[in-house]
Amino acid sequence: MLRVLETGPERRAEVADFYRAEWPDKTPDPSDRVFIAEVDGRLVGAVRRCEEAGFCVLRSMRVTTELQRRGIGRRLLQEFARALGERDCYLLGYSHLEGFYGSVGFARIPMTEVPPHLRQRLQRYLDERPDVIPMRRAASASPAT
């Protein structure tokens, strides 16, 4: 059975272990809000909501490889978006996921609308992979369903 929820500090070590196993260079910060997906009590997905330079940023969304393409990521993203309420949020995502993130109101934005600290990160990402795009979910976006 799938369960999606925001986790608290009591599960930080488990979340850190999940990221280390699934995406070794991504580590949650204690100030991050972390949303997780569990299947039968096993942590199988996570996404971080970070506050950076006064901006809300979606970071490090991941579902364990063997359970991808089963709707877990969509449910995780929906819960993340629902919890945003009336708040703008940015992300730097892969272009092939534009429709996925768009399903909860994220839309591609021009570089001129990207916060300065994210522009620098985006440039580093683009130096490695040309398929990263900046997106924003405006506070006025329709709520996630």
pLDDT in tens, 130-139: 999 999 999 8
pLDDT in tens, 22-68: 877 777 888 899 999 999 999 999 999 999 999 999 999 999 989 99
Reported pTM: 0.90
What is d(CA 87, CA 80) in angstroms, rounded to the nearest whole number? 12
What is d(CA 47, CA 43) in angstroms, rounded to the nearest whole number? 12
pLDDT in tens, 64-73: 989 999 999 9
Mind listing the domains of the chain with CATH numbers? 2-137 (3.40.630.30)
What is d(CA 133, CA 96) in angstroms, rounded to the nearest whole number? 9
Judge whether 60 and 54 are in contact, CB under 8 Å: no
Sign of the dihedral through C-alpha 69, 73, 78, 79? positive
